[in-house]
Amino acid sequence: MMGSILEKIGDRNPQFLREVKGRLKIFPIIFVTVLSLLMQFLVYICHVENMSPHAGNGEYIRYLAHWDRVFQSLNPIFIFSLLVCGTYQIISDISKEESRGTLNFIRLSPQSEVSILTGKILGVPILLYLFIAVAIPFHLISGMLSGIPFLNIVAFYLILSACCGFIFSAATLLSVMTQNVAKKSQGIVAWLGSALVLMFLTSSYSFSSTNIPFDHAFAWLLMFNPTSITQYLSQSSRDLERLQFFYIPVGMNLIGIIGIHLANYAFWTYSLWQGIKRLFRNSNATFFSKSYSYLFVILTQITLWGFTLQKGEYYTSGERNYDINSVIQQNIPLFFVFNLILIFALMRILSPTRQSILDWSRYRHLERNHRQGWQSTIYGDLLLGEKTPSQFTIGINLLLITTPFIIWLIIAPLLNTHDKFAILWLTDEVGIFKALLAIGFLISLTMIYATVYQFAAIARVSQPFSLATFAIFTLNVLPPAIFFKLNIDPVKNPIPWLFSTIPWAGFTANAPIICFALLGEIMILVLLNMKLMKQIKLAGSSTTKELLNTSG
């Protein structure tokens, strides 16, 4: 019977069958089973005394407390053993396959990337899954004896499974991204990956003890912490019960809690697989397609705004009237940090290699014949093409990020119903017009960075992306450092600061001067892009001439 089941699974996923057959031997199965039973016995004798559920009220409370400690002790064992050990096993196995050359044969098979790598995720840690499966009945019974409902425990299993899918997908991505690493360093990658997961889990446990609330834009980040759901299930923390998404009280019931966690894991796991599928067969491909980058940015902004727009405990308790402008302002630093990291990450993961850009420059007229409508134009190439420069895509993503803030700045005075001092800085001190100019500076400056990054990325050097990163870092740090060294006061002499990497320091100048400075930056941006496109065209034609001369 077991053989027929494995054959059916093997028909659907041959890679999974290959991994399982190599690991499910008699001795390893017995060893892992005994080890799991031994672990359960040690947890039991460490926590459980001779208690009876039919004793007096005080004794019964102690009885529940002891079983709750058993349940709570098994939770971190499940989480740490699955995530840390599973991460190490997956990265180590893929690295070994790569070093032996067998992974190249697997790539040539008719299986899809998803089939191959999900087979590894499901099959490589199969003995680890067996270790946990043997302990599940004891874990389930201890939870129910401690008073936790059966459905709550099932919810923990669902969310832990989703967490494993996310972490193991990240481990797979790390393996794929480091497939060209020297053989001596591949073992280090496995230890590094498991160490990062261990650091994440230990820091999560330390943060969970501080009871950080979920009423902010980074609530989705806290949901990656598997301990948050265990605290909710054991009723040791009620932070998740107050969780809202666009004011929808998703934390009011178990279905909402499960749904928001699974949706969060599903989105990020799916995004990781976008990179895995593209890089598995072609290590020079970009991590995202340009079209998916737009969807990714839209969904991340919806997530940030969704968790921003919720009424926290401070307001729902009646201590203060809710004011939407105050809430948005409190979350602006979180938006800024996340989107700053996001934009600079997109500069790297959307930038094609020098050779890809040169190929596009040479053969664009041929590829254009296979497209229809606006996609066959130069604009379609720049916004959706796989081999085109990325700065125009960065510009579209910047507009997607900043548009909600532009709308908010315009309608903020209309939303200011309870706390009239919440946006006093906007209406009186800075002004809406200058605030909109600040966003304009942010967009133009970031676009200049993206263009400079693309210049450096197509340079004829051994490490073009390292050069590009260094160029952006220098542009960010050097101008303000020079101004500080020369003691140029932004209040007395704001004009130089308007052309620095922090132009907002020069907003003490008059509005016309600020407008002229913004126009100057836009002119610089246009000239840089014209120069870049001319350089790409020249490099592509030069390469074509070299090829023709060589063939002649």
**Total residue length of the chain:** 552
Question: Does 372 have pLDDT greater than 80?
Answer: no
Q: What is the pLDDT of residue 208?
A: 66
Please compute, for residue 233, the number of CA atoms within 13 A of its CA located in the half-sphere on the CB side.
Answer: 28
Percentage of the chain lying above the pLDDT 70 cut: 84
Own/partner pairs, 62-70, CB within 8 angstroms, 24+ separation: 64/145, 64/146, 64/147, 65/146, 67/142, 67/143, 67/145, 67/146, 68/146, 68/147, 68/148, 68/234, 70/43, 70/44, 70/142, 70/146
Residue 535's pLDDT band, with cuts at 50, 70 and 90, is: confident
Determine which helix (DSSP H) or strand (DSSP E) holds 425, and give its type and residue range: none
For position 111, what pLDDT does the model report? Answer: 80
In angstroms, the CA 219 to CA 275 distance is: 25
CB count in 10 Å sphere of residue 101: 8
Long-range contacts at 141-148 (CB < 8 A, ≥ 24 apart): 142/67, 142/70, 142/71, 142/74, 143/67, 143/71, 143/233, 145/53, 145/64, 145/67, 146/64, 146/65, 146/67, 146/68, 146/70, 146/71, 146/234, 147/64, 147/68, 148/68, 148/71, 148/233, 148/234
| 77 neighbors 47 (Cβ within 8 angstroms) | no
Max Cα-Cα span within the chain: 98
Distance CA 276, CA 210 (A): 35
Check if the beta carbon of residue 75 is closer than 8 Å to that of residue 163: no
Most confident of 165-174, 348-357, 509-518: 165-174
Between CA 506 and CA 529 the distance in angstroms is 26
Maximum average pLDDT range among 58-62, 129-133, 533-537? 129-133
Which tops the pLDDT comparison, 104 or 223? 223
Q: Within 10 A of 340 (CB to CB), how many other CB atoms are there? A: 12
Q: Which residue has the higher pLDDT, 124 or 386?
A: 124
Could you tell me what percent of the chain has a pLDDT over 90?
29
| pLDDT(206) > 60 | yes
* 460: enclosing H helix or E strand: none
Query: Residue 435 pLDDT > 70, yes or no?
Result: yes
pLDDT of residue 162: 95
Residue 14 Rama label (left phi>0; alpha psi -120 to 50; beta) = alpha
**Residue 228 CB contacts under 8 Å (≥ 6 apart), including other chains:** 208, 222, 237, 239, 240
Report, as an integer, the average pLDDT of 213-220: 86
Q: How confident is the model at residue 337 (pLDDT cuts 50, 70, 90)?
A: very high
Q: Based on the number of CB atoms within 10 Å of its own CB, is 329 exposed (0-12), middle (13-18) or buried (19 or more)?
A: middle
CB neighbour list of residue 277: distance below 8 Å, 6 or more residues apart: 113, 114
Question: What contacts 307, CB < 8 A, 6 or more positions away?
Answer: 214, 215, 216, 217, 218, 219, 220, 244, 245
List, in order, residues 6 or more apart from 448 with CB less than 8 Å away.
Answer: 521, 524, 525, 528
Rounded Cα–Cα distance for residues 69 and 443 (Å): 53
* CA–CA distance, 517 with 521 (Å, rounded to integer): 6
265 vs 12, higher pLDDT: 265
Q: How confident is the model at residue 538 (pLDDT cuts 50, 70, 90)?
A: confident
412: nearest Cα among 323, 310, 331: 323
pLDDT (0 to 100) of residue 88: 93
Average pLDDT for the chain: 83
